[in-house]
Structure 1
Amino acid sequence: MVTIETFRKLAMSFPDTNEEAHFEKISFRINKKIFATFDKKNNHAVLKLNEIDQSVFCASGEMSFYPLPNKWGKQGWTIIELSKVRPDMFEDALEYSYKNVISKKT
């Protein structure tokens, strides 16, 4: 299980990360680009993975990773159930998300 405190601590540990509101959610951004959000109501995170990383995490057998069920999911946006995910798996996925977004900076 991952708490919002752990999520925030991990997200803010990446260089130049900012925390901002995003509709009813909390977003974590690098260069104004979102790499993670926290949905308090549903206790889940959404991370921006590339298609390969998304398929690996979703196929991990964790049953806590799945693509958003819309066009955003096809672009790598992935839901993580914070009450089910192992902390080490979440930390790895969060790092992949950060690196995916920072690698696309212009």
Structure 2
Amino acid sequence: MDSLTFTKYALAFDEVTENPHLDKNSFKVEDKIFATIDTQNLKIVLKLNEVDQSVFSDFDPSAIYPATGAWGKQGWTIFEIKFVEDDMIKDALTLSYCNLAPKKLADKYQKKST
């Protein structure tokens, strides 16, 4: 996945804005950052819960891993997008959005169990 494709996916969610954030771009819903992208290094950072962070990190710890320090303990997870399948990034991005979006927005994107 490249940075333009990631940006397209992130902006496809309801009520998302893109803003500069230090040397990256951030994606917010309700003024809460759910994703950032470092376009130079092709790394994204997503806000996951503890279980999802562990599952994704276990898949490929060299390409998906917790951010350093307290940020990682809060669920912020780094994905080196050139080494991760697009579908996995889309799934993680959706989880991150749903973790921070209001329930009425998140419900639209959460997978329903049957």
Q: TM-score, normalised by structure 2?
A: 0.85
Pairwise CA distance, 1:40:
2.0
- Match of 1:16? 15
Counterpart CA distance in 2 for 1:69 and 1:18 is: 26
Q: Computing the radius of gyration over CA atoms, which structure comes out larger, 1 or 2?
A: 2
- Match of 2:92? 93
The structure whose residues are more often helix, as a share, is 2
Report how many residues are paired.
Answer: 103
Counterpart CA distance in 2 for 1:47 and 1:27 is: 10
Sequence identity, in percent? 48
Spell out structure 1 runs of 4+ moving beyond 2 A: none
**Cα RMSD between the aligned structures?**
1.4
How do 1:1-106 and structure 2 match up within 5 A? 2-61=1-60, 63-103=62-102
Q: In the alignment, residue 26 of structure 1 is paired with which amino acid?
A: N
Structure 1 unaligned segments of length 5 or more: list them.
Answer: none
Q: Is the 8 A contact 1:62 1:85 kept in 2?
A: no
Q: In the alignment, residue 96 of structure 1 is paired with which amino acid?
A: L
Structure 2 unaligned segments of length 5 or more: list them.
Answer: 104-114
Pairwise CA distance, 1:103:
4.6
Pairwise CA distance, 1:62:
6.7
Pairwise CA distance, 1:6:
0.8
